[in-house]
Amino acid sequence: MSFKTKLAGAMTGVAVLTSAVAVQAEVLFWSTQARPAEEAQAMRVEVLGGFGPGVDYQPNEAGPWLTRFKAEIEAGSGSIGVLGSLHGDFSSLDADTLMDLDGLGVMSSSETFNNLAKLGTDSMQYVPWMQASYIMAANKEALQYLPEGANIDALSYDELIQWTANVHEAVGQPKFGFPAGPKGLKHRFFQGYLYPSYTNGVVRTFASPEAVTAWEKFKELWAHTNPASTNYNFLQEQLLSGDAWIVFDHTSRLAQAFNERPDDFVAFPAPAGPTGRGFMPVLAGVAIPETAPDKDAAMALVKYLLKPETQLATLRATSFFPVVDVDLPDDLPPAVRAAGDAVAKMSASPDANPGLLPAGLGSKGGDFNRVFVDTFERIVLAGQPIDRVLADQKRALAKIMDDTGAPCWAPDAPSDGACPVE
Amino acid sequence: MSDAASVSGHSTNKAGRFVYVSGVVLLCAWVLIPLYLLLVNTLSSPEAVNSFPKSFLPGFDLGSLEFFAGFSGMLVALKNSIIVAAITMVLSILIGAPAGYALSRFEFRGKEVFRLLILLTRAFPLPLLALPLAVLFIRTGLDDTAFGLALVHTTLAVPFAVLITFSLFSGIPLELEEAAWTLGCTRLTAFTKVVLPLILPGITASAIFAFVISWNEVFAAAVLTIENRTLTAFLLQTLSESPLHLKFAGGFILVVPALVFIFAVRKYLFAMWGIANR
């Protein structure tokens, strides 16, 4: 036996040993949500532990998540049983690659969410799974600097700017924290909060005179924002470290601060502008790919996830709220209580101006966000003239709307065809 | 006059020595301080990690590490990482060393193009290659196997293996081999008895490169493995959004096996600069 054949033998041996295919009895839950280590662990143990056939919960970043799913669809066979992700990720997928879930008999209690889940088709392509929103939070140290007469539960943008200015002056450091880091959700602030509050629209009013005012106000706020904000992705870290005292972020990206030191922080509604208190939901859903190895088990898992008790366990594990009607118990974690209160106050406020998630953008969802991020970077970070930047970016936005033909969503007034940028 | 010369000679000598020592200290600090801070923060309580100024002494709080001890799937992932890295090492040397030998010893058509082409495997980002690779792997049954992933990692590691061994082979005079041939060696025995011992440190260096490349690779591992996840794919994706104290602990867990490996092979590496094995 020559060296070569020995070598070939050894290689084959290695290949056979390592390629022994694992037996798959568990449903593979391929998710982009609940990624942080503690949340993933809580999902595995407390939420999915009760599902009989067993679940292999694998949280992924959006890149690998999408690549793997596309590969399985293209290869025509796969191992993913259930997909879990945000509405925006699903809307970029081809609806033919997802099972129609109308026959499942479960859906959320919100008609709006159920309609979003159809992704523009006639049937549910995913089932709404859990929801969240964006809120404000502050270190209690900062409360003494609130402008006179301001009510923290009904702040206006002007009062917020005054408040951050007072803190800046008193402490000597800018203490507003904004998620402008590479993974921060800054674009949602512009799409769901700043624009609706100042222009009562997002797309139609993108380059309106009111939008210019909105950006001017944001620049004022930025003057009192910790300049390190361009590195902030999860404001809970800066709340805990004290680098930021007043912050805006996703409820679950603030959760750790409230859970670790519940007595040190307060959560409160987003501020209001001339056209109301703009705010926007976050919607996550679960879907079943056409290539799922065991569709019955996958459907059972989706049904299990929508059960009230599973939804409550999910709330505890991830700080994402149920999408079905559930009576919330009293013993919830501090973060959930704080965020729940703030969201409730926000929706119940007399000037509430709730927006919807962008819909109908398909694979252009990322480009849509890019428009807002670029506008922010050019106006606020690069200091370019607001008029010029808005006029430039308006063209990019109009092209996205024309290419996709997406109709307007709230708070923009409805449109017949593609939502026009006026 | 001669006194002045000797004094100035002495002082340049001293200054040179000072630069040399501070260079060594700086380089050591560059490697060791981050590792030390990683260790300190791993062994500190979450409050200590988030507070400022940071302590330079560990608090010996094992909470963060305990969390990972109970994290399901860690040990399996560690095992997978080691298997994949080991196969990558073996394959990249089996493929890379002969290629390096051929490049340094033989003249053939397209040699320069071949050297460039080898580097080209690093020119395409993995996220671009991962989709077609995953489709192919699913169709051929290589999907979700350590061997399949090791093949991808080998592609990434081979350029380093080829270039390192190429320069080493070029540094060994052909006369040594010729002398061995005249003394009764065949091409193969001359290689194994004369050349191989001389280039062992280089082989070790490329093995370390292969190991580290495989150990650090996330994207392909995340797409191509599911049941057989590597530790990096398993941990890194959850870590980037975890609280700070878990980031440190997870980073520590990722670094330690690689350090252990490098320490295990270090004596072969040091021989490269003529320092005897110790």
Same domain, B222 and B101: yes
State which H helix or E strand residue A281 sits in.
Answer: strand A281-287
- Are A44 and B72 within 8 A, CB to CB? yes
A-to-B residue pairs, Cβ atoms closer than 8 angstroms: 118
Same domain, B99 and B45: no
| SS3 state at A31 | strand
Q: Are strands A281-287 and A80-86 parallel, antiparallel or unpaired?
A: antiparallel
Q: Which residue of B90, B134, B226 is in closest CB contact with A28?
A: B226
Q: Assess whether pLDDT exceeds 80 at residue A333.
A: yes
Q: Do A75 and B127 lie within an 8 Å CB cutoff?
A: no
Burial of A92 (0-12, 13-18, 19+ CB in 10 A): middle
Q: Are strands A246-250 and A27-31 parallel, antiparallel or unpaired?
A: unpaired
Q: Do A41 and B227 lie within an 8 Å CB cutoff?
A: no
Average confidence (pLDDT) over A188-196: 95
pLDDT, position B271: 56
Same domain, B27 and B99: no
Number of domains observed in the structure of chain B: 2
Q: Which fold has domain A24-131+282-337?
A: D-Maltodextrin-Binding Protein; domain 2 (3.40.190)
Measured over the CA atoms of residue A80, residue A82, residue A86 and residue A89, the dihedral's sign is: positive
Q: Assess whether pLDDT exceeds 60 at residue A359.
A: yes
The whole-angstrom separation of Cα B233 and Cα A64 is 10
* C-alpha distance from B145 to closest chain A C-alpha (Å): 5
Measured over the CA atoms of residue B6, residue B12, residue B13 and residue B15, the dihedral's sign is: positive
- Are A204 and A371 within 8 A, CB to CB? no
pLDDT, position A293: 92
In degrees and rounded to multiples of 5, residue A246 shows phi and psi of -125, 125
pLDDT, position B114: 87
Q: Which residue of A14, A37, A79 is in closest CB contact with B238?
A: A37
Instruction: Quote the radius of gyration of chain A (alpha carbons, Å).
Output: 23
The whole-angstrom separation of Cα B5 and Cα B113 is 55
* C-alpha distance from B168 to closest chain A C-alpha (Å): 24
B266: closest CA among B212, B208, B213? B208
Residue whose pair of structure tokens reads 């004290």 in the numeric block: A242
Same domain, B86 and B11: no
- Convert A270-286 to b/e letters by CB count within 10 Å (16 or more is b): bbbbbbbbbbbbbbbbb
Q: Quote the longest CA-to-CA distance of chain A.
A: 92
Q: Which residue of B147, B238, B241 is in closest CB contact with A19?
A: B147
Q: Do A44 and B130 lie within an 8 Å CB cutoff?
A: no
Q: Which DSSP category does B16 fall into? A: H
Average confidence (pLDDT) over A45-69: 90
Q: Which residue of chain A comes nearest to B82, CA vs CA?
A: A18
Q: What is the pTM of this model?
A: 0.80
B207: closest CA among B261, B271, B144, B139? B261
Q: Residue A225: CB partners within 8 Å, gap ≥ 6?
A: A164, A174, A176, A177, A178
Same topology between domain A24-131+282-337 and domain A133-281+352-404: yes
Q: Which residue of B141, B145, B246 is in closest CB contact with A38?
A: B246
The whole-angstrom separation of Cα A288 and Cα A117 is 13
Beta strands in A74-145 (DSSP E): 80-86, 127-139
Q: Do A14 and B243 lie within an 8 Å CB cutoff?
A: no
Average confidence (pLDDT) over A222-226: 96
Q: Is residue B217 in a domain?
A: yes
The whole-angstrom separation of Cα A139 and Cα A265 is 5
The whole-angstrom separation of Cα A421 and Cα B7 is 80
Q: Are strands A127-139 and A176-177 parallel, antiparallel or unpaired?
A: unpaired
Q: Assess whether pLDDT exceeds 50 at residue A19.
A: no
Q: Is residue B41 in a domain?
A: yes
pLDDT digits (tens, 9 = 90+) for A162-178: 999 999 999 999 999 99
pLDDT, position B3: 53
Q: Which residue of A24, A38, A70 is in closest CB contact with B131?
A: A70
Measured over the CA atoms of residue B11, residue B16, residue B17 and residue B21, the dihedral's sign is: positive
CATH number at residue B184: 1.10.3720.10
| SS3 state at A125 | coil
Beta strands in A123-196 (DSSP E): 127-139, 176-177
What are the domain boundaries of chain A? Answer: 24-131+282-337, 133-281+352-404
A37 chain-B contacts, CB cut-off 8 A: 67-68, 71, 235, 238-239, 242, 246, 250
Same domain, B15 and B99: no
Of the residues B19, B44, B63, the one at which a domain ends: B63
Q: Do B131 and A74 lie within an 8 Å CB cutoff?
A: yes
Q: Do A38 and B242 lie within an 8 Å CB cutoff?
A: yes
Q: Residue B155: CB partners within 8 Å, gap ≥ 6?
A: B121
Same domain, B54 and B175: no
Q: Assess whether pLDDT exceeds 60 at residue A34.
A: yes
pLDDT, position B1: 44
Residue whose pair of structure tokens reads 């996205």 in the numeric block: A400
A166: closest CA among A139, A146, A140? A146
pLDDT, position B261: 85
Same domain, B43 and B82: no
Bridge partners of A225, per DSSP, are A176
Q: Which residue of A14, A59, A75 is in closest CB contact with B237?
A: A59
Q: Do A14 and B147 lie within an 8 Å CB cutoff?
A: yes
The residue range of the domain holding B32 is 2-63
Q: Are strands A176-177 and A246-250 parallel, antiparallel or unpaired?
A: parallel
B243 chain-A contacts, CB cut-off 8 A: 36, 38, 236-237, 256
pLDDT digits (tens, 9 = 90+) for A93-135: 888 999 999 988 888 888 888 888 888 888 999 999 999 999 9
> How much of chain A, in percent, has pLDDT values that exceed 90?
64
Q: Which DSSP category does A122 fall into? A: S
Q: Which residue of chain A comes nearest to B68, CA vs CA?
A: A37
Same domain, B79 and B7: no
Average confidence (pLDDT) over A10-15: 46
- Convert A113-127 to b/e letters by CB count within 10 Å (16 or more is b): beebbbbeeeebbbb
B237 chain-A contacts, CB cut-off 8 A: 35, 59-61, 64
Same domain, B52 and B77: no
Q: Do A237 and B243 lie within an 8 Å CB cutoff?
A: yes
C-alpha triplet A40, A60, B41: angle, nearest 5°? 60
Same domain, B108 and B213: yes
Q: Is residue B131 in a domain?
A: yes
Q: Which DSSP category does A408 fall into? A: P
pLDDT, position A201: 93
Same domain, B77 and B155: yes
B240 chain-A contacts, CB cut-off 8 A: 35, 61, 183
User: Class of A133-281+352-404 per CATH?
Assistant: alpha beta
Q: In which residue ranges of chain B is pLDDT below 50?
A: 1-2, 273-278
pLDDT, position B119: 82
Burial of B21 (0-12, 13-18, 19+ CB in 10 A): exposed
pLDDT, position A232: 94
* C-alpha distance from A209 to closest chain B C-alpha (Å): 38
Residue whose pair of structure tokens reads 């990972």 in the numeric block: B68
Other beta carbons less than 10 A from residue B9's beta carbon: 10
C-alpha triplet A383, A387, A393: angle, nearest 5°? 85
Please enumerate residues of A whose Cβ is less than 8 A from a Cβ of B: 3, 7, 14-15, 18-19, 21-22, 24, 28, 35-38, 40-41, 44-45, 56, 58-61, 63-64, 67-68, 70-72, 74-75, 77-79, 183, 233-234, 236-237, 240-242, 256, 260
Q: Are strands A281-287 and A352-354 parallel, antiparallel or unpaired?
A: unpaired
A177: closest CA among A261, A268, A238? A238
Q: Assess whether pLDDT exceeds 70 at residue A14.
A: no
A7 chain-B contacts, CB cut-off 8 A: 94
pLDDT, position B7: 55
Q: What is the mean pLDDT of chain A?
A: 89
A187: closest CA among A138, A134, A150, A151? A134
Q: Residue B97: CB partners within 8 Å, gap ≥ 6?
A: B161, B165, B203, B206
Residue B181 CA, distance from chain mean position? 35
Asked, as a colleague might, if the bond just before A293 is cis with ω within 30 of 0, I would say: no
Q: Which DSSP category does A233 fall into? A: S
